[in-house]
C-alpha cells in the first residue's frame, strides 16, 4: 500500500512538474491559498468580513504583479469552502483542501473554535497556515509549528479596559478592591479565553469580580445578567460574544438603562453598533485589533487610512471597516512577503520564511514569536464618542481622552 | 448561585423586574406556540419550521424599518405576506404529509426550515439585525429599587393580547373558525358534514404562518434576529405545546407565560448559560411527570 | 395424537422462522462483498479521499444505529446524537485522564501541553474507546428508564431535549473545558498514517455494527422489537417484556454510537460541546434523514441511504458553495414528501424475492405440486 502511494505521489509530482514548467511561459501561474471559512452559521457575519479582507488583498497583490519567484510569476487565488461555523466541518474541509485539491498554503478560518480544529490538521500534514481570526491564546501554548497569527491574542482584548478601570479608581482615591467588575462572556472558545485573560488582569490589579455569567450561544437575551448588573451596580461591565453578543448587549443595555460608568464590549465594529444603536453606543469602550486612525504604514496599501479608503471603495456597503477585514488582508500580505523571501514553493521553506517575518504594514508591525503569535502589534481600546470611534488607550496610541463616567441616557 | 438567590431576597424589586420581563416575552412565545398547537391539533403536523416563520416575520419588520417607515407598520404586511407564504407551502408540500405518520411532518418541515434559513441568509446576509421601535424606556420606583419597562415590550404585550383575542373570536364566531374546530375534532366526520377539509388545512397552516409572523415582528423590535435564530423559537413552541396540550388556548398561554418567567429566573439564578437548559429541563420534567401520572393507570408487565 | 401434531406444528414454526429470515441471502453476500471490497480498496485507490471515506463509514454507522430504534422498533429518536457526544467526551477524558490531570489539561489558561508517548497514545485510544462504548450504553440504560414511557412525537421531542440539554450542560462544566473545548492528544505518527489508522477503525466499527445488527435481527430479539413496532400493547400482552427490550435496543445503538463518537473526536483533533460533540441539528438529523432515504426498517436501507446521502452532501458542498444547505434541505423535503419508503423500501416492494421474502400469493402452484 505504501508502495502504491509512493507511485501515485511520483506520478502526481511528474504531472505537476510538467504542468509548472510548461506554464512558465504563460503570463502568470497561480498559487492557490486554501481557506475553510464561515459563510453560514453563527460566525458568518465575521466570516464574510474576513473573506472580503482576503479578496481585497489578493486583488491588490495580483494588480501589483503577483509573486515573483526566480523568473516565474504567480498570482494568488483563494479556494474557499464553507465550514458552517462548526469546528467539526473545518477539519474535514482542510483535509479535502490538502488531499484532494492539493493546496499547500493556507489562510485561517474565522473564530478561535474553528482555528483550534484547523491547527492539528496543519501540524499533521506539516503545511503552514497564516491565520488572522483565531485569537485564543491556547492556540499558542500547544507547540504548533505551522500556525501563525497576525493578530494579538485573546488576553489582550480587554486588558487595557481593566487597566483603565484600575487607573481611574486610583485617581479617585478608591482602593482597587472596591472596584467591582461584572463579566458576561459567550460560552465559546474565543470568549472564554478572553475571560481567562480578564480574570488574570483583574487579579493583577486586585479588582473584585461580582458577576461572572456565560452567555449561551444561541440566545438573543441577556436581560437576566443585566438585571443583576442593575442590582449590584458594578464599576466596570465587560461583555464579549462576537457580533451577536455585541448586538444583543447594546440593545438591552439601552433598553434597561444600565448606568454602569464603564462598559467594554468586543466586536462593536463588526456588529455595526453605531448605525444600529446610535444613542446607546455613546461612551462604550470597544477593544480593536486595528483602527484606521492609527499611524501604521506599509508598502502594500500605504497607511491605515488609505487601506480604509480602498476597502470602502471596493465594498461600498461598509461604513466602518471592521478590523476582522483588515487583519485578513494582513495575513495575505504575510504570505506574499514570505514567498518573496523564500523564493521557493516548498511549504517548509515558505514556513521558515514566515517564521522570520518582520514587516511593517498598514495593520501594524508583524513579527512572530516562537509560538506563532504576532508580538509586534498592540491592541488598542476605542471609545465611541459622538458617533465616532476614538482611540483612548493605551496612552502611546490615544488620540482622545476617555470620557468617564459614561453618560447613561 | 446562592448569592443570586440572596440577591432576590434582599432586593425584592428584582423579582418584579424578572416577572415583568418574563411575562412580556412569554406573551410573544404564546403566539408562536398557539400557531403550533393549531396545526398540530387540526392536521397533526408537527411544524419544525415554526421558528423560521417567526424570523421571517422579523425580517419584514427589519426591512420596512430600514426603509425609514416605523417597523410596527410591518405587522399587517408581514401577516398578509406570511399568510400567502403559508398557503403556498401547504399546497406544495404540507398537503402531501398531512396523512402520513408523525415523523414525516417533523422531518419534512425540518427540511423546509433549512431552506428558509439559507434563503434568508442568501437574501439578507448573515448579520444580526434589529428593528428599532424608537419607543423610550420608562422607570418606576417600586419596593426600594427602580424597575425599567421598555415601552415597546408593553405595547407588544398589548398587541399579543389583541391578536390572541382576535384569533379566539375568529375561531368561535366565523364559519371558517367553526370548520377548523370541527376538523380538529374529527376529520372524517367533518368531511361527511360537507366541510372542505383540504381548504381548512390550507387555511390553518397559513393562519399559523401569519401568527408566527406577527410574533416575529415583535421579536425583531425587542430582541435581535438572524437567519439561524429560528431553532430556539421552534423548541420553545414545542416545549409549550407539549406541556399544555393542543386545542387548549388557556393552557398554551399559561405555559408560555410560565416559560417566559422560568427562563428569566433560571438565567438569573443559575447564570445565563443555564437559560436554555431551563427550557429543556422543564420539558423533560413535564414529560416525566406525565409518565408517572400515566403509569398509575397502566396494568401491564413493566 | 393431537398433542403430537401440535408439538410438530410448533417445531415447524420455530424452524421455519430462521429459514424465512436467513441471516444472509445471495444478494446480501454480493452487496456485502462489494462494500468490503470498496472499504479495503478505497484508501488504496483513492488515497486522497481516505478521510472522507472514513467519515462515510461513520455515517453508515449512524444510520444503522438509528434504524435499530427508529426503523425496527418504531421509536423515532431525535436525540441519538447524545451518545455520539457522550462517547466522544468519555473517550477523550479517558485518553487524557489515564496519564495526566484532566482539569489542568482542559483549562483555557493551560500554560503548556502534555506530550503523550506513542504507547500512551495507543493505550489511551484503546481504553478510551472501550469506556466510550460501555459508558454510552450505561447512559442509555439510565435515560431509557426516563423516556421510554413516552410515545410517538413525545418520545422524539423528549430525546431531542436530552441531546440539547447535554450540550449546554457540558458547556457549563469547567472540568472538561466548558465551552472552550480542548484539543485531543496528537497522533504520534505521520499525517497519512493517522488517516489510515482511523480509517481502519471507522471501517471496522461500521462493519462490526452491520454484522452484529444483521445477526440480531435474525434472532428472537429482532422479532420482539418488530412486534413492539407493530403494536406495543399486543406485544406486551403476548408476554414480551417491552421495557427490557426497548432498553436493550437503545443500549446497543448507544454502544456503537459511543465508539463512533470517540473516533470522530480523535479525527477532528479538537472537541467542544455544541458544535462537535452534540451537533443536534446536523449529524443528529442527518442520521434520521439517511435512514429514511435508504428505507427504514431494512438492513440495507440505512447503509445505502448513508452512502448516497454522504456523496450527495459532499457533492453539493463542492459544486453549490453557498447554496449547499438549500440543496440539502430540498433533498430532505423531496425524500420525505415524495419518496417515503426510501430506496430499499421501494425495491423491496417492487422485487421482494431479491430480499429473500417469499410472497405466498405468488406460489400457489408450488403448494399444489407439493401436495
pLDDT in tens, B263-280: 888 888 887 777 778 878
CB pairs under 8 A between A and C: 134
> How long a stretch of residues is chain A?
409
pLDDT on residue A171: 87
Share of chain C above pLDDT 70, in %: 87
Chain B residues within an 8 Å CB radius of A222: 272
Q: Could you give phi then psi for residue A256, rounded to 5 degrees?
A: -95, 10
Q: Average pLDDT in the A200-205 region?
A: 90
C265 belongs to a structural domain: yes
Q: Is the pLDDT at A91 greater than 50, yes or no?
A: yes
Residue C228 and residue C233: Cα distance in Å, rounded? 8
Q: Is the dihedral of CA A189, A190, A195, A200 positive or negative?
A: positive
Shortest distance, CA A67 to any CA of chain B (angstroms): 33
pLDDT on residue B57: 94
Query: Which of B107, B273, B300 is opposite residue C332, by nearest beta carbon?
Result: B107
B82 belongs to a structural domain: yes
Chain B residues within an 8 Å CB radius of C328: 114
Q: Average pLDDT in the A71-75 region?
A: 88
Number of domains in chain C: 1
Of the candidates A368, A88, A116, A112, the one whose C-alpha atom is nearest the C-alpha of residue C186 is: A116
A39-53, B281-295, C150-164, range with the lowest pLDDT: B281-295
Q: E strands, chain B, where?
A: 137-142, 145-150
| pLDDT tens-digit map of C131-161 | 999 999 999 999 988 888 787 778 888 888 8
Q: Is the pLDDT at C123 greater than 90, yes or no?
A: yes
Q: Average pLDDT in the B110-114 region?
A: 90
Number of domains in chain B: 1
pLDDT on residue A239: 93
C105 belongs to a structural domain: yes
Query: Which of C168, C184, C269 is opposite residue A216, by nearest beta carbon?
Result: C168
| pLDDT tens-digit map of C42-71 | 888 888 888 889 999 999 999 999 999 988
pLDDT category at C24 given cuts 50, 70, 90 is low
Q: Which helix (H) or strand (E) holds C183?
A: strand C182-183
pLDDT category at C34 given cuts 50, 70, 90 is confident
Coil, helix or strand for A35?
Answer: strand
Q: Average pLDDT in the B220-233 region?
A: 87
Domain that holds residue B169: 2-295
Q: Is the pLDDT at A13 greater than 60, yes or no?
A: no
The angle formed by the CA atoms of residues B259, B262 and B266, to the nearest 5 degrees, is 140
Question: Would you call C317 and A82 a contact, using CB atoms and an 8 Å cutoff?
Answer: yes
Beta-carbon contacts of residue B285 (< 8 Å; ≥ 6 apart): none
Shortest distance, CA C46 to any CA of chain A (angstroms): 10
Of the candidates C325, C332, C291, C277, the one whose C-alpha atom is nearest the C-alpha of residue C164 is: C277
C349 belongs to a structural domain: no
Residue C302 and residue C290: Cα distance in Å, rounded? 6
Question: Would you call B272 and A44 a contact, using CB atoms and an 8 Å cutoff?
Answer: no
Q: Which helix (H) or strand (E) holds C335?
A: helix C324-338
| Chain A residues interacting with chain B (CB cutoff of 8 angstroms) | 39-42, 44-45, 47-48, 184, 187, 212-216, 218-225, 227-228, 230-232, 243-244, 247-248, 251, 254-257, 271-272, 276-277
pLDDT category at A106 given cuts 50, 70, 90 is very high
pLDDT category at B296 given cuts 50, 70, 90 is low
Residue A56 and residue A51: Cα distance in Å, rounded? 9
Of the candidates B77, B92, C293, B148, the one whose C-alpha atom is nearest the C-alpha of residue A223 is: B148
Q: Is the pLDDT at C237 greater than 90, yes or no?
A: no
Higher pLDDT, A232 or C84: C84
Higher pLDDT, C283 or B289: C283
CB pairs under 8 A between B and C: 119
B118 in A contact zone (CB under 8 Å): yes
Pairing of strands A29-37, A72-82: parallel
pLDDT on residue A19: 42
Question: Would you call C146 and B238 a contact, using CB atoms and an 8 Å cutoff?
Answer: no
Residue B24 and residue B153: Cα distance in Å, rounded? 6
CB contact residues (below 8 A), chain A span 224-283, against chain C: none
Query: Which of C179, C186, C187 is opposite residue A189, by nearest beta carbon?
Result: C179
pLDDT category at C327 given cuts 50, 70, 90 is confident
**pTM, to two decimals:** 0.85
Q: Is the pLDDT at C254 greater than 90, yes or no?
A: yes
CATH assignment of A156-288+380-393, given 3.90.1170.10, 1.20.1250.20, 3.40.50.2300, 3.40.50.80? Answer: 3.40.50.2300
ipTM of the prediction greater than 0.85, yes or no: no
Q: Is the pLDDT at B301 greater than 60, yes or no?
A: no
Domain that holds residue C59: 48-282
pLDDT on residue C49: 84
pLDDT category at C358 given cuts 50, 70, 90 is low
Question: Would you call B280 and C288 a contact, using CB atoms and an 8 Å cutoff?
Answer: no
Q: Average pLDDT in the C335-359 region?
A: 75
pLDDT on residue A15: 43
Chain A residues within an 8 Å CB radius of C50: 99
Chain A residues within an 8 Å CB radius of C192: 5
**C-alpha dist (Å) from residue C89 to A11, A405, C83, C162, C269:** 42, 46, 10, 16, 12
Instruction: Locate CATH 3.40.50.2300 in chain A.
Output: 27-152+293-367, 156-288+380-393
Residue A224 and residue A232: Cα distance in Å, rounded? 13
Query: Which of A100, A195, A214 is opposite residue C172, by nearest beta carbon?
Result: A214
C99 belongs to a structural domain: yes
Question: Would you call B137 and A254 a contact, using CB atoms and an 8 Å cutoff?
Answer: yes
B300 belongs to a structural domain: no
Average pLDDT, chain C: 83
State the residue for C-alpha cell 508591525.
A365
Question: What residue in A sits closest to C114 (Cα-Cα)?
Answer: A142
pLDDT on residue A16: 45
Name the DSSP letter for residue C71: T
B121 in A contact zone (CB under 8 Å): yes
Question: Would you call B150 and A255 a contact, using CB atoms and an 8 Å cutoff?
Answer: yes
Of the candidates A133, A264, A137, A135, the one whose C-alpha atom is nearest the C-alpha of residue A196 is: A137
User: Is domain A27-152+293-367 in CATH 3.40.50.300, yes or no?
Assistant: no
Beta-bridge mates of residue A214 = A185
pLDDT on residue C16: 40
Of the candidates C145, C239, C161, C228, the one whose C-alpha atom is nearest the C-alpha of residue B292 is: C145
B37 belongs to a structural domain: yes
Chain A residues within an 8 Å CB radius of C108: 136-138, 189, 192-193, 195-196
Shortest distance, CA A72 to any CA of chain C (angstroms): 29
C214 belongs to a structural domain: yes
Residue C16 and residue B284: Cα distance in Å, rounded? 44
Question: What residue in C sits closest to A114 (Cα-Cα)?
Answer: C270
CB B289 within 8 A of CB B21: no
Beta-bridge mates of residue A80 = A35
Coil, helix or strand for A186?
Answer: strand
| pLDDT tens-digit map of A298-318 | 888 889 999 999 999 999 888
Chain A residues within an 8 Å CB radius of B4: 228
B4 in A contact zone (CB under 8 Å): yes
B301 belongs to a structural domain: no
Chains that touch C (3 or more CB pairs under 8 A): A, B
Q: Is the pLDDT at C13 greater than 70, yes or no?
A: no
Question: What residue in B sits closest to C322 (Cα-Cα)?
Answer: B122
Q: Is the pLDDT at C356 greater than 50, yes or no?
A: yes
pLDDT on residue B247: 67
Query: Which of B14, B224, B271 is opposite residue A251, by nearest beta carbon?
Result: B224
Q: E strands, A108-205, where?
A: 129-131, 147-149, 180-186
B17 belongs to a structural domain: yes
Residue A93 and residue A107: Cα distance in Å, rounded? 13
Q: How many CA atoms lie within 13 A of C122 on its CB side?
A: 6
Chain C residues within an 8 Å CB radius of B274: 168, 172
Q: Is the pLDDT at A23 greater than 50, yes or no?
A: no
pLDDT category at A408 given cuts 50, 70, 90 is low
Q: Is the pLDDT at C8 greater than 70, yes or no?
A: no
CB pairs under 8 A between A and B: 114
CB A8 within 8 A of CB A2: no
Amino acid at each position: 500500500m505504501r508502495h502504491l502511494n509512493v507511485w501515485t505521489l511520483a506520478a502526481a509530482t511528474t504531472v505537476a512538474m510538467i504542468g509548472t514548467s510548461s506554464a512558465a511561459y504563460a503570463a502568470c501561474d497561480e498559487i492557490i491559498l486554501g481557506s475553510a471559512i464561515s459563510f453560514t452559521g453563527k460566525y458568518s457575519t465575521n466570516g464574510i468580513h474576513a473573506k472580503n479582507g482576503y479578496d481585497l488583498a489578493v486583488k491588490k497583490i495580483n494588480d501589483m504583479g503577483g509573486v515573483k519567484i526566480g523568473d516565474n510569476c504567480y498570482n494568488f487565488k483563494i479556494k474557499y469552502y464553507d465550514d458552517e461555523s462548526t469546528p467539526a466541518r473545518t477539519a474535514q474541509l482542510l483535509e479535502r483542501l490538502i488531499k484532494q485539491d492539493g493546496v499547500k498554503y493556507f489562510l485561517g478560518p474565522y473564530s478561535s473554535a474553528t482555528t483550534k480544529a484547523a491547527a492539528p490538521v496543519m501540524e499533521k500534514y506539516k503545511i503552514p497556515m497564516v491565520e488572522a481570526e483565531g485569537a485564543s491564546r491556547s492556540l499558542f501554548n500547544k507547540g504548533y509549528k505551522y500556525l501563525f497569527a497576525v493578530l494579538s491574542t485573546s488576553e489582550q482584548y480587554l486588558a487595557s479596559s481593566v487597566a483603565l478601570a484600575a487607573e481611574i479608581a486610583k485617581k479617585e482615591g478608591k482602593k482597587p478592591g472596591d472596584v467591582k467588575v461584572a463579566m458576561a462572556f459567550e460560552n465559546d472558545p474565543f470568549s472564554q479565553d478572553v475571560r481567562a485573560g480578564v480574570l488574570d488582569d483583574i487579579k493583577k490589579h486586585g479588582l473584585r469580580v461580582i458577576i461572572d455569567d456565560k452567555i449561551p450561544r444561541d440566545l438573543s437575551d441577556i436581560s437576566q445578567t443585566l438585571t443583576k448588573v442593575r442590582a449590584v451596580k458594578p464599576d466596570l461591565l465587560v461583555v464579549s460574544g462576537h457580533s451577536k453578543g455585541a448586538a444583543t448587549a447594546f440593545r438591552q443595555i439601552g433598553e434597561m438603562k444600565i448606568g454602569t460608568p464603564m462598559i467594554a464590549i468586543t466586536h462593536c465594529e463588526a456588529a455595526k453598533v453605531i448605525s444600529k444603536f446610535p444613542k446607546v453606543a455613546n461612551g462604550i469602550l470597544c477593544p480593536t485589533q486595528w483602527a484606521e486612525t492609527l499611524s501604521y504604514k506599509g508598502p502594500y496599501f500605504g497607511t491605515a487610512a488609505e487601506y480604509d479608503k480602498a476597502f470602502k471603495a471596493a465594498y461600498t456597503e461598509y461604513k466602518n471597516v471592521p478590523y476582522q477585514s483588515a487583519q485578513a488582508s494582513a495575513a495575505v500580505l504575510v504570505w506574499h512577503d514570505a514567498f518573496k523571501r523564500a523564493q521557493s514553493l516548498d511549504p517548509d521553506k515558505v514556513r521558515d520564511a514566515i517564521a522570520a517575518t518582520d514587516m511593517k504594514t498598514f495593520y501594524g508591525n508583524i513579527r512572530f514569536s516562537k509560538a506563532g503569535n504576532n508580538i509586534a502589534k498592540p491592541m488598542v481600546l476605542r471609545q465611541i464618542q459622538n458617533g465616532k470611534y476614538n482611540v483612548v488607550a493605551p496612552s502611546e496610541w490615544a488620540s482622545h481622552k476617555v470620557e468617564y463616567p459614561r453618560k447613561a441616557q | 448561585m446562592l448569592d443570586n438567590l440572596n440577591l432576590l431576597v434582599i432586593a425584592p424589586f428584582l423579582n418584579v423586574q424578572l416577572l415583568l420581563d418574563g411575562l412580556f416575552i412569554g406573551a410573544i412565545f404564546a403566539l408562536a406556540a398557539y400557531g403550533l398547537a393549531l396545526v398540530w391539533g387540526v392536521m397533526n403536523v408537527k411544524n419544525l419550521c415554526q421558528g423560521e416563520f417567526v424570523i421571517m416575520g422579523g425580517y419584514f419588520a427589519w426591512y420596512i424599518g430600514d426603509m425609514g417607515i416605523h417597523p410596527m407598520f410591518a405587522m399587517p404586511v408581514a401577516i398578509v405576506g406570511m399568510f400567502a407564504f403559508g398557503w403556498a407551502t401547504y399546497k406544495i408540500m404540507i398537503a402531501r404529509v398531512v396523512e402520513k405518520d408523525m415523523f414525516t411532518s417533523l422531518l419534512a418541515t425540518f427540511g423546509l426550515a433549512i431552506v428558509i434559513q439559507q434563503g434568508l441568509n442568501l437574501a439578507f446576509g448573515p448579520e444580526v439585525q434589529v428593528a428599532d421601535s424608537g419607543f423610550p424606556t420608562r422607570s418606576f420606583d417600586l419596593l426600594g429599587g427602580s424597575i425599567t419597562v421598555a415601552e415597546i415590550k408593553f405595547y407588544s404585550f398589548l398587541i399579543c393580547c389583541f391578536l390572541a383575542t382576535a384569533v379566539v373570536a375568529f375561531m368561535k364566531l366565523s364559519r371558517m373558525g367553526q370548520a377548523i374546530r370541527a376538523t380538529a375534532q374529527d376529520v372524517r366526520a367533518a368531511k361527511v358534514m360537507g366541510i372542505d377539509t383540504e381548504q381548512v388545512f390550507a387555511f390553518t397552516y397559513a393562519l399559523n404562518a401569519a401568527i408566527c409572523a406577527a410574533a416575529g415582528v415583535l421579536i425583531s423590535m425587542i430582541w435581535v434576529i438572524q437567519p439561524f435564530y429560528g431553532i430556539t423559537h421552534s423548541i420553545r413552541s414545542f416545549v409549550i405545546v407539549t406541556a399544555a396540550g393542543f386545542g387548549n388556548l388557556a393552557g398554551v398561554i399559561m405555559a408560555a407565560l410560565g416559560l417566559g418567567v422560568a427562563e428569566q429566573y433560571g438565567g438569573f439564578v443559575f447564570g445565563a448559560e443555564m437559560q436554555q437548559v431551563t427550557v429543556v429541563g422543564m420539558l423533560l420534567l413535564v414529560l416525566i411527570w406525565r409518565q408517572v401520572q400515566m403509569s398509575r393507570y397502566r396494568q401491564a408487565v413493566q | 395424537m393431537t398433542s403430537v401434531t401440535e408439538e410438530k406444528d410448533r417445531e415447524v414454526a420455530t424452524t421455519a422462522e430462521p429459514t424465512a429470515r436467513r441471516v444472509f441471502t445471495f444478494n446480501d453476500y454480493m452487496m456485502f462483498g462489494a462494500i468490503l471490497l470498496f472499504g479495503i480498496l478505497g484508501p488504496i485507490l483513492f488515497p486522497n479521499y481516505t478521510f472522507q471515506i472514513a467519515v462515510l463509514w461513520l455515517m453508515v454507522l449512524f444510520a444503522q444505529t438509528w434504524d435499530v430504534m427508529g426503523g425496527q422498533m418504531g421509536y423515532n429518536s431525535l436525540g441519538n446524537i447524545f451518545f455520539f457526544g457522550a462517547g466522544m467526551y468519555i473517550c477523550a477524558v479517558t485518553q487524557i485522564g489515564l496519564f495526566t490531570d484532566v482539569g489542568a489539561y482542559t483549562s483555557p489558561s493551560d500554560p503548556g501541553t502534555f506530550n503523550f508517548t506513542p504507547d500512551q497514545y495507543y493505550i489511551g485510544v484503546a481504553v478510551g474507546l472501550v469506556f466510550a462504548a460501555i459508558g454510552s450504553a450505561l447512559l442509555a440504560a439510565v435515560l431509557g428508564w426516563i423516556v421510554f414511557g413516552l410515545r410517538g412525537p413525545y418520545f422524539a421531542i423528549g430525546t431531542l431535549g436530552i441531546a440539547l440539554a447535554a450540550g449546554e450542560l457540558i458547556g457549563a462544566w469547567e472540568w472538561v473545558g466548558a465551552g472552550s473545548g480542548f484539543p485531543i492528544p496528537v497522533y504520534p505518527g505521520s499525517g497519512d498514517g493517522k488517516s489510515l489508522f482511523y480509517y481502519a477503525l471507522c471501517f471496522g466499527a461500521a462493519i462490526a455494527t452491520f454484522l452484529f445488527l444483521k445477526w440480531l435481527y435474525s434472532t428472537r430479539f429482532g422479532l420482539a422489537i418488530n412486534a413492539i413496532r407493530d403494536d406495543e400493547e399486543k406485544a406486551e400482552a403476548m408476554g414480551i417484556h417491552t421495557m427490557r427490550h426497548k432498553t436493550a435496543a437503545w443500549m446497543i445503538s448507544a454502544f456503537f454510537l459511543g465508539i463512533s463518537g470517540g473516533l470522530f473526536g480523535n479525527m477532528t483533533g479538537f472537541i467542544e460541546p455544541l458544535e462537535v460533540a452534540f451537533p443536534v441539528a446536523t449529524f443528529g438529523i442527518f442520521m434520521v434523514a439517511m435512514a429514511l432515504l435508504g428505507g427504514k426498517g431494512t438492513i440495507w436501507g440505512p447503509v445505502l441511504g448513508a452512502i448516497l446521502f454522504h456523496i450527495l452532501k459532499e457533492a453539493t458542498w463542492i459544486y453549490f458553495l453557498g447554496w449547499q444547505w438549500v440543496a440539502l434541505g430540498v433533498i430532505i423535503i423531496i425524500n420525505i414528501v415524495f419518496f417515503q419508503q426510501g430506496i430499499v423500501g421501494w425495491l423491496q416492494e417492487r422485487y421482494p424475492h431479491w430480499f429473500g421474502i417469499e410472497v405466498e400469493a405468488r406460489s400457489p402452484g408450488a403448494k399444489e405440486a407439493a401436495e
